[in-house]
Amino acid sequence: MNKIVYLVAAGLISCQAFALEITSDVNGPVTLVEPQLNMGALAPKIALVDAKFKPQDVGGVNGKVQIISTIESFDTEVCDIQTMKFDEAAKKLPDVEISVISANLPFIIDNFQNKHKVKGIKLLSSFNNEEFGKQYGVQVVGGELKGILARSVFVVDKKGRVIYKEITSNIDKMPNLDAAISAARNASENT
């Protein structure tokens, strides 16, 4: 009996060792869903909704290079800056489709879009489809921020493969947007 308890306990400990934990300056540690989407993997095609609840696909093969960025909320300063930098980058990347995604309700996205007059990128919500966060490995499943998406950026080539990935180790900090934009530009020019 002791051996069985030991094996079960050892199994639980080893499973937890693989969970990706990141942090938040305000909310402490948070745990992300497993498994993570790896470089070279096919980016899953997932239907999300825009500010008007209209379905929009991200990922998969769509004939364009894609930047897929996730943020915690369109109501935070860092997320605001990240989104606006991608909107500015879109002007110089006409062959790249850029999507910024949060778990916010579409009403929040609509307010953000009206306030900032965002035109070059898609602002999307995963509020009614947790599959996106699970498939991309960015769904927060533990900690005070459970239910939101971690801050990340993925670049997907025209064949639907992940060629760049960053999930920030601190949910409150910006990813390397220049590196993601550069990866997207290179993929767009070289295919």
Beta strands 28-32 and 20-24 are antiparallel
pLDDT at 19: 61
Contacts of 174 (CB under 8 A, 6+ apart): 78, 81, 82, 151, 168
Q: Give dist(CA 19, CA 121) in Å, integer.
A: 32
* pLDDT (0 to 100) of residue 166: 96
> Is residue 29 a contact partner of residue 70, using CB atoms and an 8 Å limit?
no
Residue linked to tokens 């094996």? 7
Domain assignment present for 9: no
Query: Residue 3 has what pLDDT?
Result: 41
5 in any annotated domain: no
| Cβ partners under 8 Å of residue 125, min gap 6 | 48, 49, 50, 51, 101, 102, 103, 104, 105, 106, 109
**Candidates 79, 156, 162, 180; catalytic one:** 79
Is there a domain that residue 7 lies in?
no
Domain that holds residue 147: 20-189
pLDDT of residue 46: 97
Q: How many domains in the chain? A: 1
Q: What is the pTM of this model?
A: 0.86
Residue 97 belongs to some domain of the structure: yes
Residue with tokens 């364009």: 64
Residue 12 lies in a domain: no
Q: What is the CATH number of the domain that holds 114?
A: 3.40.30.10
Segments in the chain below pLDDT 70: 1-19, 25-27, 191
Would you say residue 165 lies in a domain?
A: yes
Q: For this structure, is 15 an active site residue?
A: no
Continuous segment of H or E residues that includes residue 108: helix 106-116
